[in-house]
Structure 1
Amino acid sequence: MDHKKLYIKTTLILAVFTIVEVMISYIDMPRLHQIGLLLGFAVSKIVLVAYVYMHLYYESHTLRKLLFIPIPLVVFFLVALAYDAQFNWIIQ
């Protein structure tokens, strides 16, 4: 795929994700569900940006896997710490 087309496609996907994130913030749902959805979209955007703009699109599968292993680990530790901390404002 041509670089220009790839960047335009990536920009459009990021714009759609951002619009969905803003829409989620206005939906009446429990705060914990909103935070989970927003974190999911944020991680998806981070992975997409790293994949395209760091040119991981052209790297081997092994290198891509090695670079994305820390992302689920960070999410896991953040969730584990959130249960340990006193975040009463999240659940309200």
Structure 2
Amino acid sequence: MTGHMFIETTIVCCMVAVGIAMLLCLWRLLRGPTVPDRILALDTLSVTAVAELMLLGMHLDSPIYFEAALVIAMLGFSSTVVLCKYVLRRDIVE
């Protein structure tokens, strides 16, 4: 039983750490001095959101959070590619 409590405590501590990372990413997204800084903060925020959902799924022992994390990961990657292409060319469609 001690191992189970240790894992649960570790998951909760990791959720707090990832939550703090999300707040720092949000701060950089809002205050970023340049557009590339904001794009990087948005990408990092999507990665930390995936991590938070995975941890929540482990904590609650529910598989639905893993599917939501997969959707957020796909949307985060797509949005990063589109935003980077827009910054480089100032045009999304070729």
TM class by smaller structure:
0.5 to 0.7
Structure 1 partner of 2:75 = 74
Higher relative contact order (CA 8 A, sep 6+): 1
Q: Which runs of 5+ in 2 are unaligned?
A: 1-5
Q: CA deviation at 1:5?
A: 3.0
Structure 2 partner of 1:84 = 92
Runs of 4+ in structure 1 off by over 6 angstroms are: none
Report sequence identity in percent.
9
SS at 1:84 equivalent: coil
2:47 corresponds to 1:39: no
Partner Cα separation in structure 2 for residue 72 and residue 23 of structure 1: 20
C-alpha deviations, 1:17-74, integer Å up to 9, x for none?
312431453342x22x133122122212221122111128x8xxxxx6xx46544532
Let me know the Cα RMSD of the aligned residues. 3.5
**TM-score of the pair, normalised by structure 1:** 0.52
Q: Which runs of 5+ in 1 are unaligned?
A: 59-63, 86-92
- Cα 1:26–1:52 change in 2 (3 A) is same
User: What are the equivalent positions in structure 2 for 1:13-52 lying under 5 Å apart?
Assistant: 13-23=18-28, 25-28=30-33, 30-31=34-35, 33-52=36-55
